[in-house]
Amino acid sequence: MTRLQLAVAVAVAVAPGPPGPCSTSRAVRRPPRHISRCRGLLRGAMSVVAAAASTHPSATADGSPPQMATTRLERGSLLVGGRELISQCPPEVTLRAGVALAAPGAAFLGARAAAPSSRHVFSLGTIPKGWRWLSLFKLKIWWMAPKTGAEAAGVPAETQMLLLEKTGNGAEDTVYALMLPALDGDFRASLQGCPENELQFCFESGDPDVQTKDAVDAVFVNSGDNPFKLMKESIKILSKIKGTFSHIESKETPANLDWFGWCTWDAFYKAVNPVGIEEGLQSLREGGAPPRFLIIDDGWQEIVNEFKEVNGALLEETVFAERLVDLKENDKFRGEACKNLGDLVKKIKETHGVKYVYAWHALLGYWGGVCTSSDVMENYNPKLVYPVQSPGDVANLRDVAMDSLEKYGVGIIDPEKIYEFYNDQHSYLSSVGVDGVKVDVQSVMETLGHGFGGRVALTRKYQHALEESIARNFKGNNLICCMSHSSDHIYSALKSAVARASEDFMPREPTLQTLHIANVAFNSLLLGEIFIPDWDMFQSKHETAEFHGAARALSGGGVYVSDKPGVHDFTVLKKLVLPDGSILRARYAGRPTRDCLFNDPVMDGKSLLKIWNLNNLSAVVGVFNCQGAGNWTWLVEEISHVPTAVNITGHLSPSDVESLEEITGDEWNGETAVYAFNSCSLSRLQKHQSLELSLVTMTCEIYTISPIQVYGGAVRFAPLGLLNMFNSGGALDSITGTVDSSATTVQIKCRGPGRFGAYSSARPALCRVDAHEVEFSHSDDGLLAFDLSDGSSHSSLWNIEILYTAS
């Protein structure tokens, strides 16, 4: 056996497998001497394996060496896709290559320190000129936000995804690199820049007693020529290697996402009450947008503020330190309006046709946890602890809630009792008819790891207990994770399928509306591979309602509002909701188009934001002008002044849609029908052609893009769907064509009611809906349209026949 073979054999023998939920961490308290020696041997073996992989790359299927695809660490340079991604790598940086046979570019970066610690900051080197990057970083402890740049120094602290692009002589020469700081045993990694223009990774456990000097699988690296395929492939690989979370494709999708919803938060805030809930449901139902999904948000629980009197007044800052005292509803939900929570849930389901009721609670019970002196809570061995934030969290924006919790403490449940707590809470809610929960304030766990084995171990314990309780007590994986953007949570989500994508919709903050749309779209690049991103509620009678409503329509997630009872704009709602309460949900998470990934759609004064998605038979692209109405809330380089309202011109192309081939068929010639929702205009474009559009601040246009197919050798046809809905193509289910000697018939199954539209190169002889002939119009631009009358439901489809006779 050669030395190389011996080193590889040793690496295979001692390399730990994917850490499961209960696996032993490589970082332990006071590690035994033999473990430290194993780490050193493993590190040396990895270096040899990486060097061997770069010297003798395996052949590809056609016999050529995959040098352009492999990731290599050579002479202080990290090479991805044949390009130098990082230069001047320090000698302590390590690379574990060849982690996935199907993706030779997949690898892990790590490093070794001189001494054990619970927190390390390692330099990786600098980013050479020619690359530009997109960072998703934790702006607050709860939420991520996007930032773009080119130099390593600009990468913000708490970066959880770094996507980089380097262009060549043409689009086909463009290389994308992806860096995902991961969870490695009991440690969590994040990226950051420094004034010396170096890219660093921080490696921390959150518990001074949990230490290591080896970061082995700290930063996942991969490369490719398509950023969206790269992201999907990488998350799938990472989930298989780590074993602590799952890709969204393997998770159960909650059924409520296909129905219109109403959330009580902005309607009442914590003053939510049974009478108000019924009034809100009734006014929406009577207006023609019946909610089938209800979230009873914060305000239903029995809580206590233990800091009552300060100079005769309640301290405002103690609101976030209020604590849970009971698992049942408070007095507002026990009285004349309803006997109890169960009575209310039964009434609203029977009277208002609500199918799914969710109740809100925090991961620790309430914002400040649980009351340690409560008779009910004593069953779960609670104790008062004081959060300690990571230096990375306070490097960006401090949060007022964390300031309060740091001062007044959190009543935390014994981790060994946390499943019992969730099971008791959820079994009670299920017994009174509640169907699921929205669980908030999740990222607080990362600050409570001291004495509990660290932030990663504690978060995973709570998250997996939560998921097991959901599976036991509710049908359909009915859970919304919220305030949960810490990678501790993201990479511990084995079953959770829905997560909020950004900071709240804030109706009283006019400068935050455009930021919200940009934030949810960019964050969905990462979140959308693990969850169905929830783009949050909005209000239909708000100056930005069309802007928000259009975005929700192509988000791929749920659509729900937080209107006050009787305060609605049904012209907006009926572009989102069918009369039966169902919505037209797109196939994937809505994400920025490729040409928008490295632009700033909020503050550069020139870029429009384009968001793409797919439906069954067509694609949809929303174009938004987010410029001029607000600023990102972190410190940015000085830029030229952007007017309050600015008109921006851009371009829209069918090629903006990724994976269009999923819906086109093998014989498609590249021609599409493009329908603009607001201007009601129809165009025909080849895949790489484009049209010009101009938008002023806080306006948008939604384009349905439908591949044109040829039937009978003469009829060119493309279904558009319901022209009165933002996501027109979301109504389409299937299309077939039959041809005989006398006629060509196109058959479509479509939801309704509404105004059906399609591109048709020829005027048909007749159109039938459910075997009944209907009147239709056919214009010079090829737009064929007719009405689908009321009567359809979510579970039934209109059968449409469009007949062309031989000339």
User: Cis peptide before 208, with omega less than 30 degrees from 0?
Assistant: no
Which of 412, 359, 362 minimizes the C-alpha distance to 385? 412
Q: What is the pLDDT of residues 525-561, one digit of tens each?
A: 999 999 999 999 999 999 999 999 999 999 999 999 9
The answer to whether 714 and 670 are in contact (CB under 8 A) is: no
Q: What is the pLDDT of residues 628-659, one digit of tens each?
A: 888 886 544 444 445 478 999 999 999 999 99
CA distances from 407 to 108, 374, 384, 804 (A): 39, 21, 12, 74
Alpha-carbon distance of 146 to 169, in angstroms, equals 28
Alpha helices in 540-594 (DSSP H): 545-553, 570-573
Q: Could you count the other beta carbons within 10 Å of the beta carbon of residue 93?
A: 21
First-to-last C-alpha distance (Å) of the chain: 79
- pLDDT at position 418, please? 98
Q: What is the pLDDT of residues 349-383, one digit of tens each?
A: 999 999 999 999 999 999 999 999 999 999 999 99
Strands (E), 182-309: 183-184, 187-193, 199-204, 212-224, 261-263, 293-296, 301-304
Cβ burial of 350 (10 Å; 0-12, 13-18, 19+) is exposed
Residue 577 tokens read as: 């909701």
Residue 67 tokens read as: 């040098």
Pairing of strands 356-362, 293-296: parallel
The answer to whether 341 and 428 are in contact (CB under 8 A) is: no
What predicted TM-score, i.e. pTM, was given to this entire model?
0.91
Torsional class of 773: left (φ above 0), alpha (ψ -120 to 50), beta (otherwise): beta
Torsional class of 231: left (φ above 0), alpha (ψ -120 to 50), beta (otherwise): alpha
- pLDDT at position 306, please? 86
Task: State which amino acid sits at residue 130.
Answer: G
Which of 776, 662, 656 minimizes the C-alpha distance to 705? 656
- pLDDT at position 17, please? 37
Residue 312 clears pLDDT 90, i.e. is over it: no
Q: What is the pLDDT of residues 759-778, one digit of tens each?
A: 999 999 999 999 999 999 99
The answer to whether 180 and 161 are in contact (CB under 8 A) is: yes
Q: What is the pLDDT of residues 378-398, one digit of tens each?
A: 999 999 999 999 999 999 999
**Angle in degrees, 0-180, between the axes of helices 33-55 and 3-14, rounded to the nearest 10:** 130
Alpha-carbon distance of 783 to 255, in angstroms, equals 34
The answer to whether 73 and 91 are in contact (CB under 8 A) is: no
Alpha-carbon distance of 177 to 131, in angstroms, equals 10
Q: What is the pLDDT of residues 609-618, one digit of tens each?
A: 999 999 999 9
Which of 751, 796, 758 minimizes the C-alpha distance to 777? 758
- pLDDT at position 169, please? 74
- pLDDT at position 309, please? 58
Residue 715 clears pLDDT 70, i.e. is over it: yes
Alpha-carbon distance of 325 to 331, in angstroms, equals 13
Locus of tokens 């990678």: 487
- pLDDT at position 307, please? 84
* Residue with more model confidence, 384 or 172: 384
Cα–Cα–Cα angle for 642, 148, 514, rounded to 5 degrees: 45
Summarize the confidence of residues 282-302 as an average pLDDT. Answer: 98
Q: Could you count the other beta carbons within 10 Å of the beta carbon of residue 287?
A: 16
Residue 222 tokens read as: 């991969």
Alpha-carbon distance of 456 to 486, in angstroms, equals 10
Residue 601 clears pLDDT 60, i.e. is over it: yes
The answer to whether 754 and 746 are in contact (CB under 8 A) is: no
| Helix or strand holding residue 403 (H, E) | helix 400-408
Q: Give the lowest-confidence range in 77-81, 105-109, 166-170.
A: 166-170
| For the chain, percent of residues with pLDDT exceeding 70 | 88
Residue 256 tokens read as: 């409520």
Residue 214 tokens read as: 């080896």
Residue 652 tokens read as: 């829209």
Alpha-carbon distance of 26 to 108, in angstroms, equals 16
Residue 471 clears pLDDT 90, i.e. is over it: yes
Alpha-carbon distance of 523 to 500, in angstroms, equals 10
CA distances from 197 to 88, 150, 194, 628 (A): 11, 11, 6, 30
The answer to whether 442 and 363 are in contact (CB under 8 A) is: yes
Strands (E), 274-344: 293-296, 301-304, 323-329
Task: State which amino acid sits at residue 391.
Answer: P
Alpha-carbon distance of 435 to 296, in angstroms, equals 11
- pLDDT at position 796, please? 79
Which of 645, 656, 571, 652 minimizes the C-alpha distance to 613? 656
- pLDDT at position 272, please? 98
**How many Å separate Cα 208 from the centre of its chain?**
32
Alpha-carbon distance of 698 to 624, in angstroms, equals 7
CA distances from 556 to 28, 347, 360, 591 (A): 42, 31, 22, 10
The answer to whether 148 and 134 are in contact (CB under 8 A) is: yes
* Rg of the Cα atoms in the chain: 28
Residue 335 tokens read as: 């009285």
**How many Å separate Cα 240 from the centre of its chain?**
20
Phi and psi, residue 162, nearest 5°: -130, 110
Q: What is the pLDDT of residues 653-702, one digit of tens each?
A: 999 999 999 999 888 999 999 999 999 999 999 999 999 999 999 999 99
Summarize the confidence of residues 267-292 as an average pLDDT. Answer: 98
The answer to whether 250 and 236 are in contact (CB under 8 A) is: no
Adjacency order of strands within the sheet including 798-805: 732-739, 743-750, 798-805, 766-769, 772-774
Q: What is the DSSP letter of 82?
A: T
- pLDDT at position 713, please? 87
* Residue with more model confidence, 534 or 313: 534
Pairing of strands 301-304, 323-329: antiparallel
Alpha-carbon distance of 362 to 298, in angstroms, equals 9
* Helix %, strand %, coil % of the chain (to 5): 25, 30, 40
Mean pLDDT, the chain, integer: 89
